[in-house]
Structure 1
Amino acid sequence: MKIEYYIIIFTVFCTLSCKTKDSFEFVVLPDTQTYMEEFPEVYINQMQWIATQEKRFSFVLHEGDITQNNSEKEWEIAREGFALIDGKVPYNLSLGNHDMGSETGKFADTRNTELANKYFVSSAYINQSNSIATFPKGAIDNNCAEYDIIGEKWLVFSLEFGPRNKTIEWANKLIENHPNHHVIVNTHSYMYNDNTLQDGEDWYLPQKYGVGKEIGENAVNHGGDLWEKLIKRNENVLMVFSGHILGSGVGQLVSKNDFKKDVYQMLANYQKNVKGVEKGDSGYLRIIKVDKKNQLITVKTYSPWLDKFNTDPEHEFIFNNVKM
């Protein structure tokens, strides 16, 4: 009887252990801006659900446009939501064009992120986010977290809207100093909804905002620029996540970097005015599973608010033969 008991325990332990070593999951939160403005209960519900899954998810990424109007009221709501997962699930925030500006309702006319840094104080954020570096120092505008998951080391970057030349230089140096880490890049503006990178005369380019008028080291970069200057030149960048774009609000792209390795790039945005989102209160988020053993990246789209998966092909899909 005792032998059978120990066999059962050993089998359960091995199953859980193998699962932990072979795969992991994390959450990608698309633009929550209209939730902050009109449907805060939907956002709070998202965060409550994540809190109940604390043993499941390795971290949470927010793609930016946390707020709609960069107002005290909206940042208070944002902080209330993330407080629900403090100490439970690490999170890394990208700041969007709606999260910066000279005053409420001014979207990226200047790179003023005072309110973001007021409600997410750098010293506390570093501990919560597993950050090993922020840029500028003492601010959350750009941050790099380090994780040790499935027997692999990871760097997770969350970069500002329209990353500046000096921001890209900072990120490149960190990646160069960690050549054996897999890298995930999370930034607000990168892909367009036609499955291409933002460039040329596309709508919503960072260059078309006030911050886009800067030059030199402060000059901004769109998706195509970021690919050329950061993503494709680093062999260990595996995934890129972004939001910002309306229309269908979704897109995916697999591109070869300079080392002939695939980079998996995804756009997701489920806010108000996105096609198929009637009121902007859908509450959809992305669940990403990285399966090292089977060489898969699985993407699912789920709404805790509706308790529903969106299984349409553009919202639920798998990348095969992922080399890690």
Structure 2
Amino acid sequence: MKSIKIIGAAGASIALLAGAGVQAASAASPTCSALDDPIYQVVNPKVGSSLLTPWAGEVTKAAKHGFTADRGVVFYGSTVKAAGLVGVHRLYNAKTQDFLFSISSTEIGSAVSAKGYVDQGTSFYVSPTGATGCRVGMPRLVKGTQHRVATLTGESATMTKAGWTLEGVRFYVATKGADPAAPETPAPTPTPTPTPSSPAASAGPFQFAVVPDTQLEVLKAGDARMKARNQWLVNQKVAFVAQTGDLVNWDTDAHEQYDRAKVGMGVLTANQTPYTVAVGNHDSMATGVGGSARPGKTWELVRDTRTLNHYFSAEDFGNVAGAFEPGKIDNVYATYQAGGKKFMVLTLEFAPRKAAVAWARSVVASHPDHNVIISTHFYLNGNNTISTSNGGYGDASGKYVFDNLVSQYPNIKMVFSGHVGYAAKARVDTGKAGNKVYSFLTTFHEGTTNPVRMLSVDTTKGTVSSTIYAPFDNKTWHAYDQTVAVDFV
């Protein structure tokens, strides 16, 4: 794809990716599976126009230019050409701050030549027809110089009453059910791939592991703690390993800490033990040399995870079934089968963007038969309360994540985080269905040993027993030993 810019209010620009020009639809009819990329919408409340984009990072940037009403994922299109699909061109008028989305070459030419729009190229691909049940028409409305694609159930009728004129359905996309999804109930992800079986896939008890902040284990060459822990976990035949962030302490031009982390975590990859790494603030450009926050806007710098994504991929992790952003590990979900049950580890970025939370909702909603474990760097405060801030970084607080994700689905069973404090027994909260959710703080920042929280799961008895152990020097922390009752699905 080529790089272009959108021109926002006052002439400011926002970088994004886009394709080439209008693509003619082939004779083949597009299948539902071709329309599987989430498309986000943000509205400018002042002028009424809206922005549609397949790039989640653009949602935050657009807020600077008046597009502040974040609707999350509103439908599914495609970011690549496929048989039967056409390109939706995005046009922008800097004078009126209006975005116009069109698949008509005639309309695009007229908008550019006579109405002051700049053609920014193809933003995403859609179906020009609604021949199958999986595709829903997206109506477009106009009021004065402003255009909006109606993506909410009943929005066309509401807008018509408010003085907007319906221009008709302009293209077709994939959604869940007969109506476009509302922003607080994003359309579920496509049918998930089969859940892999782990070495512990039988109905008997099994173990999974949660690794706390490891940033002090990669500061010096020759530190064997990370590699030793992971080899011990391989020997224990754990079903899964979730590292909850701050894998490294800071980045340098030589990336030596990432080199060491790659070797240490490579033990799991080499032995086909599935794992994930949550993004911590120290794993991003928000943290500078020495471990302190870099000057600048930390809530933007924390989204710069290029080095982490250069060193680690979904292929390294194994069992990853989907990602919020293609080619990035910042927000992914992995599935496995153990103890005769299906499990999912949903990994969320630091103080996640609301669009990432909306994506997570769609993932959980489309996997009701999976027991969901959330791994994220910052969720609980050091005193074991749910955070109500972004910790100085990122976007959503732990409270937002609880209110909009954790509490909403009874198949979410546990949440693991680090970042602050030391460790704690499980915090117990109640979801809206009356279900219990257990949240564990495991941070440590140990300078001489290598703790890991081991979770022993017995799906028959409905119990999870937690212990913390350091294989490097055989140290235990019995103060945090605990067994909780879990109603597995």
Higher relative contact order (Cα pairs below 8 Å, separated by 6+ residues): 1
**Residue matched to 1:77:** 260
- Residues 14-33 of structure 1 mapped to structure 2, 5 A cutoff: 20-33=202-215
- Residues 108-147 of structure 1 mapped to structure 2, 5 A cutoff: 109=298, 110=301, 111-122=303-314, 124-125=315-316, 128-147=317-336
Alignment: residue pair count = 278
1:287 counterpart = 2:454:
yes
Please give the alpha-carbon distance, in whole angstroms, between the structure 2 residues aligned to 1:288 and 1:263: 15
User: Secondary structure of 2:344's match?
Assistant: strand
1:99 counterpart = 2:274:
no
Residue 18 of structure 1: how far off its partner (Å):
11
Please give the alpha-carbon distance, in whole angstroms, between the structure 2 residues aligned to 1:19 and 1:131: 17
Aligned AA (1:233): Q
Match of 1:270 among 419, 444, 448: 444
Please give the alpha-carbon distance, in whole angstroms, between the structure 2 residues aligned to 1:36 and 1:206: 26
Residue 206 of structure 1: how far off its partner (Å):
2.5
Residue 47 of structure 1: how far off its partner (Å):
1.8
Residue 51 of structure 1: how far off its partner (Å):
2.8
Provide, for residues 237-283 of structure 1, a one-character-per-residue CA deviation record: whole Å limited to 9, x for no partner.
0010000013x4335201110000101110011114xxxxxxx2121
Match of 2:247 among 53, 57, 66: 66
Checking the alignment, whether the CA contact within 8 Å between 2:200 and 2:337 is kept in structure 1 is no
The TM-score normalised by the length of structure 2 is 0.54
**Residue matched to 2:346:** 157
Please give the alpha-carbon distance, in whole angstroms, between the structure 2 residues aligned to 1:159 and 1:90: 17
Aligned AA (2:212): P
Checking the alignment, whether the CA contact within 8 Å between 1:250 and 1:269 is kept in structure 2 is no
Please give the alpha-carbon distance, in whole angstroms, between the structure 2 residues aligned to 1:163 and 1:47: 27
1:241 counterpart = 2:425:
no
Closer, same or farther: CA 207–82 of 1 in aligned 2, 3 Å: closer
Match of 2:466 among 295, 299, 324: 299
Residue 88 of structure 1: how far off its partner (Å):
2.8
Checking the alignment, whether the CA contact within 8 Å between 1:207 and 1:221 is kept in structure 2 is no
What are the ranges of 5 or more consecutive residues in structure 2 without an aligned counterpart? Answer: 1-198
Provide, for residues 273-302 of structure 1, a one-character-per-residue CA deviation record: whole Å limited to 9, x for no partner.
xxxxxxx21211110011112221100111
Provide, for residues 204-229 of structure 1, a one-character-per-residue CA deviation record: whole Å limited to 9, x for no partner.
x43523xx4xxxxxxx1121111001
Please give the alpha-carbon distance, in whole angstroms, between the structure 1 residues aligned to 2:425 and 2:459: 24
Checking the alignment, whether the CA contact within 8 Å between 1:69 and 1:107 is kept in structure 2 is no
1:190 counterpart = 2:379:
yes
**Residue matched to 2:65:** none
Closer, same or farther: CA 160–207 of 1 in aligned 2, 3 Å: same
Residue 37 of structure 1: how far off its partner (Å):
1.7
**Residue matched to 2:486:** 322
Residue 145 of structure 1: how far off its partner (Å):
0.5
The TM-score normalised by the length of structure 1 is 0.80
Please give the alpha-carbon distance, in whole angstroms, between the structure 1 residues aligned to 2:379 and 2:200: 35
**Residue matched to 1:231:** 406
Residue 73 of structure 1: how far off its partner (Å):
0.8
Please give the alpha-carbon distance, in whole angstroms, between the structure 1 residues aligned to 2:437 and 2:226: 30
Checking the alignment, whether the CA contact within 8 Å between 2:377 and 2:417 is kept in structure 1 is yes
Checking the alignment, whether the CA contact within 8 Å between 1:194 and 1:251 is kept in structure 2 is no
Closer, same or farther: CA 291–103 of 1 in aligned 2, 3 Å: closer
Provide the aligned C-alpha RMSD in A: 2.1
Provide, for residues 50-74 of structure 1, a one-character-per-residue CA deviation record: whole Å limited to 9, x for no partner.
2322xx2001000000011134111
Please give the alpha-carbon distance, in whole angstroms, between the structure 2 residues aligned to 1:98 and 1:129: 23
Residue 107 of structure 1: how far off its partner (Å):
4.2
Please give the alpha-carbon distance, in whole angstroms, between the structure 1 residues aligned to 2:246 and 2:380: 15
Residue 129 of structure 1: how far off its partner (Å):
2.5
Closer, same or farther: CA 207–31 of 1 in aligned 2, 3 Å: closer
Please give the alpha-carbon distance, in whole angstroms, between the structure 1 residues aligned to 2:475 and 2:202: 26
More helix by share: 1
User: Secondary structure of 1:240's match?
Assistant: strand
**Residue matched to 2:6:** none
Aligned AA (1:35): E
Aligned AA (2:431): N
Checking the alignment, whether the CA contact within 8 Å between 1:198 and 1:222 is kept in structure 2 is yes
Aligned AA (1:25): Q
User: Secondary structure of 1:84's match?
Assistant: helix
Please give the alpha-carbon distance, in whole angstroms, between the structure 1 residues aligned to 2:372 and 2:420: 23
Please give the alpha-carbon distance, in whole angstroms, between the structure 2 residues aligned to 1:40 and 1:170: 38
Please give the alpha-carbon distance, in whole angstroms, between the structure 1 residues aligned to 2:260 and 2:201: 35
Provide, for residues 21-76 of structure 1, a one-character-per-residue CA deviation record: whole Å limited to 9, x for no partner.
132211110000111125832222212222322xx200100000001113411111
